[in-house]
Amino acid sequence: MAGQSHYSLPRPTFDKPVRILIVVAPYYREIADNLIAGAKAEIEAAGAEWELAEVPGALELPIAIGIAGRMQSFDGYVALGCIIRGETTHYDTVCNDSSRGIATLGLAGFCVGNGILTVENIAQAEVRADPAQQNKGGGAAAAALHLIALSRSWGRSSKGVGFTRDLLNSGSA
């Protein structure tokens, strides 16, 4: 709704370094660049470091984050992309499956900010991506930062959540 204000949590602070991976699907390059700019600004304002990875489309975002989670040591992740409704049901599939993938990662203990825009047209995407307007890239980065802070406050184990490869391979549980 136009003119409605929304509450934003204060930016978290950290006593140890924070490393975030921004994963973006740059199908709509200009939109992606604005989402990235907003995310980078929020991450840097929190004193965190970031790296950037690009994937072909929104469906690959959760896959890339899952791979990074297994092979790298990031504290959190920001998924950025834009899905614009077209003439077929492909829009629904991409929206639902990319969102479900991000949610599944979150439930598995990944600190992920979801900045995948799902819009009807390019004008809606432009407003949402623009750091000077709705700044959804910055909002996704803020979400990841808050989840990292929450995870650290609860004493998150560096071994992750659930079954680990070591446990599965050792034959003991």
Q: Which of 9, 11, 57, 90 is catalytic?
A: 90
Residue 6 appears among annotated catalytic residues: no
Q: With helix as H, strand as E and coil as C, how does the chain read?
A: CCCCCCCCCCCCCCCCCCEEEEEECCCCHHHHHHHHHHHHHHHHHCCCEEEEEECCCCCHHHHHHHHHHHHCCCCEEEEEEEEECCCCCHHHHHHHHHHHHHHHHHHCCCCEEEEEEEECCHHHHHHHHCCCCCCHHHHHHHHHHHHHHHHHHCCCCCCCCCCCHHHHHHCCC
- Which residues are identified as catalytic? 90
